[in-house]
Structure 1
Amino acid sequence: MNLLTLTFRNVQRDFRLYTIYLVAMITGVIIHFTFLSLSYNQDILVMLKNKESFQMGVTIASVVIFLFIIFFILYANSFFMKQRKKEFGLYLLLGMKESQVTLMVFFESLLIGAVSLVIGILLGGLLSKFFGMLLMNLMQYDNVITLNFPIQAIVLTIVLFLGLTVLTSVQSFFLIRRVQLVELFHAKEKMDKPIPSSFTLAALSVVLLGAAIFLITRGRGSNVWQDHTTFAMITVTIGMIGGTYLFFRQFSGWLLQRMSKSPHYYRGNKPLWISSLRFQVRGNTLNLTFISLFSSAIIFLIGFVAINYAVQFEAVGRNLPNDIAYQSLDEETNKDIQTVIKDSEHTVEYHRTISGIPGKPVSAMSLAFDEPDYFSKDVLLFSEKAYNEIVALRGDPEKINLKDDEAVSLSQGTDFAKRLPKGQQPRFQIEATEKVTVTIVEMKDYALLGWASDPEESMLIKPAIVVVSDEVYQELAANVQPIPFEIYEIENEKRAESLSKKIHDLMAKKEGAYYSSFADVYSKQIEGSSLLLFSATFLAVIALFALASVIYFKQLREATEEQRQYSILRKLGTADREFKSVIRKQLFFVFFPPLVLGMLHGWLILKYYILDSIQDFPQITNMIWLVFAVYFVIYLLFYLSSAKIYFRIVNQRY
């Protein structure tokens, strides 16, 4: 019998075990090919305004995703090989060389890899159409995505997974070579010993986790984070990492030990699953700690990019509230711009001219503006009347009422708008041919003109604007020539890139003249945030599969090691229903604590450091809960699948 014949017979004889590994390989091919094919899909590329950025982003994301796939496949192969140690021991005992066993495994890997590539590419091609449509929907484009299989994506997927097949074969060779023949036959008899549990260390885990949660829930605006940032960060880091490790290493062991000493311990099937878990604590500690911490990172990543995507639609409008706004240069340029707009397909909804007085700040800009580096060095003073007129046109509830020397700074982009109480209102001095001092009564997160923009470079800088009372404005306007600004509201402003480019070319006559266009920023921001959300979701899915597979394959390996114990219980008359109950309780204790801790850490960081800063977007909280629900469902499916296969393994004849 040659090695090829032996390979086919092995697959036929134990198809169930090969199926687990085959599904892992197919999943990897599907995810990688689906994502990679999108970067070569011409239906998508023809619609994008930033093709180079899109392809660069997809390339980087595909590399990261493939690294997770490598981890996922190598872990699945490790489980696959360890389940077959006794079989390999028999081959070596019968005289086969290690190189022959390795070659046989390589043939098996090629066979599984070929099947995985065919099935994975076919299913990936079908899914790429669906995900392409989803990506276009995220970007709010309405073009049709056709079903195609880009040859570049096919070739690259085949090359990468052939390389992965070689890598798994090398891993298999070392797994076979480093274990002695006697160990191969007794590999399943090795058992972890229960760890002596300490109440002190168990209590310390609760204290560390509690300290981390307490500091996180104070919020970044609290005194402890403002005055003792380094201390708070170190405490939270130690609390989360050390507390999670001790939770699985000591608290879970102490809890199981307490349950085993309970007077009700021998009721029902508690002795079966509690004693089994006590032996698993040592082997599961690092895995469960890593899964909990990495899960919180994944949840935070998805939550962050989902928030970023949801906010972009309104944030672009807040950052650039005017569809087109520019500094009036001269009558001829104004007429040329009006002609360009009139000849375009964008109907003008309204056109207003407002004037601002230029000035140079004498006081520190930080008195009136948060993050002053993002604002222009000079200041523009607008009247209360002009400001309120534009606010009324927009339909925003942002009108102001000023008296005497009161003023409002438009500190657009501040996390927390500030209505300053008396006694804490700074005096802000500006020189506009003569020095004028105003009292800042409010720092408002609002834009009158919005970011200056460029069709190529997107957002440039925010104009520093202070709104003063009409009386102060009139006094200054008597001695200073105000600068007029033209503001246009047009239809279908999201698709006005070509119009913006023409107007920008006309405005280029004067260097440094203010120009702002909603369309310059919208397409780039939405495409970028959509790609970020799409890539992060793919990354999270494969990372979640990789993390859940760590628990999944670990439990299936332990199921194989416990076949003898379950065989004895069956001979003693234990029913299948009792077995299933024990398995479900045992796996529940392993699967869900890391999920709960990961979701808790992720939610607290999102809530107190992002959600509380964007309270104007209540729908985002629902989006985060949806992310949690999807995450929970995927874990639940792994749990149910693991329980089902676990029962099948221990139900086999020993």
Structure 2
Amino acid sequence: MTLFNLARRNMSRNFYRYFLYFASMIFSVMIFFTFVSIQFNHQVAQAASVKIDTSFKGASIVLIIFVAIFIWYSNSFFTKQRKKEVGLYALLGLRKKQIGRMLFYENLILGLLSLIIGMLIGMLLSKFFVMILVKLMDTAVNVSFSISSQAILETTIVFLLIIFLASLDGYRLIYRFQLIDLFRAERVGDKAPRVSALQSLLAVVLISGGYWMALQSLNSKLWHLGLLPVALMILFCVITGTFLLFRSLTVYFLKRSKRHKTHYYRGTNMISTGQLFYRIKGNARVLTVIATLSAITLCAVGTSFSIYYEAGKYAKESMPFSYAYIAKKGNQIKADNTLEQVIKAEGHHRTLNKTAVSVIQVKGKLNGFKSVISPPFLTLISESSFNGLGKIIGLNDPVRLNPGEGLILDRYYSNQFSPNFQGKEGTIQSKTGKNTTLHFIGYRPYSVLNDPFANFSIVVSDDQFHQLERQNDPLTITQINVTDPSHSGRLTAQLTEKLNPLITFTPFSMGSYYNTYHGMMSAYGLVMFLGAFLALVFLLATGSIIYFKQLTEAEQEKMQYGILRKIGVTRKEIKGAIAKQVGFVFALPLILGIAHSAVALTALSRMLNQSILIPVAVCMLVYTLIYVGYYFFTVQSYSRIVNLESR
């Protein structure tokens, strides 16, 4: 029998041990192939309002690095698990070179199969993934099935290199150990871990300190040190604290639990607690990696989903009306008539309301700003116009102003960065050269005018506005609402074509809700797509790493569980002990990962000045459910391994 055939038979007889590793590689190939397929998909590139190839290329690089590390890490678990088997081959007379070639063939066969199957599945599902992306980007395009030769070539080259290096690492296994070490690997016992009070205290201090820094306001003295230095300090504190928590603090609590005799000697608690006590310290690095990856995954998908979830809200804040334009002098009536004719001819939308509002674009210097704000970025509007527009768009927030008073409209207002306008004064300079001082009674974090006509607006009293009208050249902004503005692409294109010769304010042209909404959905939908699939890969890796680690321990503990079976412990009781042991290993990094991500996302919520509770809660729930699925699969595999020995 050739070494190649021996490797093939060995894999077929022990395929259940390779299944998750094999499935993980297939999924990684499929996702990477999907990424590069979409990157080279000309239909999506033409339909999207953002450049997708750069985004997918960057995501593909991240995916390559992560998948390479994951495959290398997973392969090392399998090779270490097979030390005794390798020792048997050596004892039977096989030379190291032959054993190394056999291991090389096994990894190579597994890798090539996963590459072929992964690309085939990717080809079959590529249209489905493109349709998901198109749906998320809210882009109307008919997706046709296509296979990209460039995607096949790029995927093959990348994964052949990764597979070859992983196979080469398996080949080198035989040269790393002496024969006696290979046979005694499973017999080396774990020493009882010592509890370090200093490390336990330091774990709490570091994690608490990292949380405290993350939750500080961005305008606090801490962040004046610089964004990168503070971010690195937070990462160092949280990651180091997490490692010390697994290394010492968990050991402390497990040791304390052993002192509670009533609980410790109940059922199989002694078995599960004892196994954890001796293993937890050695697993500290792995559990730290899992907790960190879980936090990164939840932050990535939580952030992308939160932004996508609020895309419609952002667009409405930026464009409260479906359309807005300023007609050229003498073209107001013609522009208005053209608007009505185009809407009527298009037939799928109707006008809900139409308002003409007079505004003044001036130059001004306001408290809290170092420089002068020039037109068109500073706009004055009367209180009656503000109240009327607010009523139309559903704002029940009327104002009453006296001459000399002003109300600032700043939809970009931030509690952390924007100045406190209330009680401050500003100077407005008219075209005649006369200055007007305004006393600000407050602000509103929204606008009633479409961008770009209202980047920064000030509401003044009607008397004050009429006075300033005589000193400046007022402009008339026509603002219109139509039915279903989110799907008014055809109407928007027709209005842009017909109205552009009649309106002013170039290069901004017409302020359109659809263009803003579509642009945001394209960008945020792309971010959501990339975030979700990268998160799936990260989740797959975290669950697989724990799975591989637990199966390695199961192989080492078969003899101990066999002894338990011989003294009368039932398989059901053994499975219960395993479930508790594995549950602790799964639950602890998940809880810490959720805690780390919750703090990070809370800081993000404060920075964005909005609540992201719902999208974040959904992401955490989905992540937890998939993670729990890995837990049950691991318990089943662990139980199968230890019970096979005890039959």
Give the structure-1-normalised TM-score: 0.87
Aligned match of 2:299: 300
For 1:366, what is the secondary structure of its paired residue?
Answer: coil
For 1:196, what is the secondary structure of its paired residue?
Answer: coil
Q: Aligned match of 1:571 in 566, 570, 573? A: 566
Aligned match of 1:592: 587
**CA offsets per residue over residues 397-431 of structure 1, 9 Å max, x none?**
24322123221111121134999999x51011111
**CA offsets per residue over residues 444-488 of structure 1, 9 Å max, x none?**
111233332xxxxxxxx9533211001111122233331222323
Residue 525 of structure 1, CA deviation: 1.5
- Higher mean Cα deviation, 278-287 or 488-497? 488-497
Q: Please give the alpha-carbon distance, in whole angstroms, between the structure 1 residues aligned to 2:272 and 2:469.
A: 83
Aligned match of 2:49: 49
Aligned match of 1:649: 641
Q: Aligned match of 2:622 in 605, 630, 635? A: 630
- Residues 361 and 339 of structure 1, relative CA distance in 2, 3 Å threshold: same
Aligned match of 1:473: 465
Residue 113 of structure 1, CA deviation: 2.9
For 1:602, what is the secondary structure of its paired residue?
Answer: helix
Gaps of 5+ in 2: none
Residue 250 of structure 1, CA deviation: 1.0
Q: Aligned match of 2:115 in 114, 117, 121? A: 117
- Higher mean Cα deviation, 530-539 or 348-357? 348-357
Q: Aligned match of 1:607 in 602, 610, 614? A: 602
**CA offsets per residue over residues 362-396 of structure 1, 9 Å max, x none?**
344639xxxx8998675222111122222222222
For 2:362, what is the secondary structure of its paired residue?
Answer: strand
- Asked if structure 1 preserves the Cα contact closer than 8 Å seen for 2:562 and 2:645, the reply is yes
Aligned match of 1:361: 364
- Asked if structure 2 preserves the Cα contact closer than 8 Å seen for 1:296 and 1:601, the reply is yes
Q: Please give the alpha-carbon distance, in whole angstroms, between the structure 1 residues aligned to 2:315 and 2:632.
A: 44
Aligned match of 1:259: 257
Residue 585 of structure 1, CA deviation: 1.0
Q: Does 1:414 align with 2:413?
A: yes
- Asked if structure 2 preserves the Cα contact closer than 8 Å seen for 1:361 and 1:378, the reply is no
Q: Please give the alpha-carbon distance, in whole angstroms, between the structure 1 residues aligned to 2:158 and 2:224.
A: 50
Residue 606 of structure 1, CA deviation: 1.7
- Higher mean Cα deviation, 37-46 or 391-400? 37-46
- Higher mean Cα deviation, 20-29 or 381-390? 20-29
Q: Please give the alpha-carbon distance, in whole angstroms, between the structure 2 residues aligned to 1:203 and 1:582.
A: 30
Residue 65 of structure 1 aligns with an amino acid whose one-letter code is L
- Higher mean Cα deviation, 625-634 or 64-73? 64-73
- Residues 524 and 507 of structure 1, relative CA distance in 2, 3 Å threshold: farther
Q: Aligned match of 1:82 in 72, 80, 83? A: 80
Q: Does 1:156 align with 2:154?
A: yes
Q: Please give the alpha-carbon distance, in whole angstroms, between the structure 2 residues aligned to 1:417 and 1:590.
A: 40
- Asked if structure 2 preserves the Cα contact closer than 8 Å seen for 1:374 and 1:462, the reply is no
Residue 512 of structure 1, CA deviation: 6.2
- Asked if structure 2 preserves the Cα contact closer than 8 Å seen for 1:35 and 1:128, the reply is no
Aligned match of 1:22: 22
Q: Please give the alpha-carbon distance, in whole angstroms, between the structure 2 residues aligned to 1:206 and 1:476.
A: 61
- Asked if structure 1 preserves the Cα contact closer than 8 Å seen for 2:365 and 2:427, the reply is yes
- Asked if structure 2 preserves the Cα contact closer than 8 Å seen for 1:415 and 1:614, the reply is yes
Q: Please give the alpha-carbon distance, in whole angstroms, between the structure 2 residues aligned to 1:16 and 1:513.
A: 62
Aligned match of 1:325: 324
Q: Please give the alpha-carbon distance, in whole angstroms, between the structure 2 residues aligned to 1:275 and 1:375.
A: 72
Q: Please give the alpha-carbon distance, in whole angstroms, between the structure 2 residues aligned to 1:257 and 1:395.
A: 61
Q: Does 1:550 align with 2:550?
A: no
- Asked if structure 1 preserves the Cα contact closer than 8 Å seen for 2:363 and 2:428, the reply is yes
Residue 67 of structure 1 aligns with an amino acid whose one-letter code is I
For 1:362, what is the secondary structure of its paired residue?
Answer: strand
RMSD: 3.4
Residue 621 of structure 1, CA deviation: 2.2
Q: Please give the alpha-carbon distance, in whole angstroms, between the structure 1 residues aligned to 2:410 and 2:123.
A: 48
Aligned match of 2:477: 485
Aligned match of 1:426: 424
Residue 70 of structure 1, CA deviation: 1.9
Residue 626 of structure 1, CA deviation: 1.3
**CA offsets per residue over residues 200-234 of structure 1, 9 Å max, x none?**
432443344345445656x6389786899999878
Residue 537 of structure 1, CA deviation: 0.7
Residue 649 of structure 1 aligns with an amino acid whose one-letter code is I
- Residues 214 and 363 of structure 1, relative CA distance in 2, 3 Å threshold: closer
Aligned match of 1:457: none
Residue 627 of structure 1, CA deviation: 0.6
For 2:182, what is the secondary structure of its paired residue?
Answer: helix
- Asked if structure 2 preserves the Cα contact closer than 8 Å seen for 1:416 and 1:613, the reply is no
Aligned match of 2:515: 520
- Asked if structure 1 preserves the Cα contact closer than 8 Å seen for 2:403 and 2:464, the reply is yes
Residue 465 of structure 1 aligns with an amino acid whose one-letter code is S
Q: Please give the alpha-carbon distance, in whole angstroms, between the structure 1 residues aligned to 2:629 and 2:214.
A: 31
- Residues 33 and 191 of structure 1, relative CA distance in 2, 3 Å threshold: farther
Residue 62 of structure 1, CA deviation: 2.2
- Asked if structure 1 preserves the Cα contact closer than 8 Å seen for 2:108 and 2:163, the reply is yes
Residue 369 of structure 2 aligns with an amino acid whose one-letter code is S
Give the structure-2-normalised TM-score: 0.88
- Higher mean Cα deviation, 434-443 or 24-33? 24-33
Identity of aligned residues (%): 30
Q: Please give the alpha-carbon distance, in whole angstroms, between the structure 2 residues aligned to 1:30 and 1:525.
A: 28
Aligned match of 2:37: 37
Q: Aligned match of 2:166 in 165, 168, 179? A: 168
Q: Please give the alpha-carbon distance, in whole angstroms, between the structure 2 residues aligned to 1:429 and 1:286.
A: 61
- Asked if structure 1 preserves the Cα contact closer than 8 Å seen for 2:87 and 2:179, the reply is yes
- Asked if structure 1 preserves the Cα contact closer than 8 Å seen for 2:546 and 2:586, the reply is yes
Q: Aligned match of 1:463 in 455, 479, 490? A: 455
- Higher mean Cα deviation, 570-579 or 185-194? 185-194
Gaps of 5+ in 1: 453-460
- Asked if structure 1 preserves the Cα contact closer than 8 Å seen for 2:423 and 2:440, the reply is yes
**CA offsets per residue over residues 579-638 of structure 1, 9 Å max, x none?**
1111111111111111001101211332354168554x6xx4222211111111121111
Q: Please give the alpha-carbon distance, in whole angstroms, between the structure 1 residues aligned to 2:484 and 2:548.
A: 53
- Asked if structure 1 preserves the Cα contact closer than 8 Å seen for 2:323 and 2:481, the reply is yes
Aligned match of 1:455: none
Aligned match of 2:217: 220
Residue 189 of structure 1, CA deviation: 2.4
Residue 644 of structure 1, CA deviation: 1.0
Q: Aligned match of 2:528 in 533, 537, 555? A: 533
Aligned match of 1:458: none
Aligned match of 2:393: 394
Aligned match of 1:404: 403
Residue 123 of structure 1 aligns with an amino acid whose one-letter code is I
**CA offsets per residue over residues 85-140 of structure 1, 9 Å max, x none?**
22222333444343333332333233223332343233333433433332232223
- Residues 72 and 437 of structure 1, relative CA distance in 2, 3 Å threshold: same
- Residues 514 and 639 of structure 1, relative CA distance in 2, 3 Å threshold: same
Q: Please give the alpha-carbon distance, in whole angstroms, between the structure 2 residues aligned to 1:166 and 1:235.
A: 38
Q: Please give the alpha-carbon distance, in whole angstroms, between the structure 2 residues aligned to 1:226 and 1:653.
A: 58
- Higher mean Cα deviation, 505-514 or 526-535? 505-514
Aligned match of 2:556: 561
- Asked if structure 1 preserves the Cα contact closer than 8 Å seen for 2:390 and 2:398, the reply is yes
Residue 497 of structure 1, CA deviation: 5.0
- Residues 500 and 544 of structure 1, relative CA distance in 2, 3 Å threshold: farther
- Asked if structure 2 preserves the Cα contact closer than 8 Å seen for 1:417 and 1:444, the reply is no
For 2:633, what is the secondary structure of its paired residue?
Answer: helix
Q: Please give the alpha-carbon distance, in whole angstroms, between the structure 2 residues aligned to 1:362 and 1:69.
A: 54
Q: Does 1:70 align with 2:68?
A: yes
Aligned match of 1:59: 57
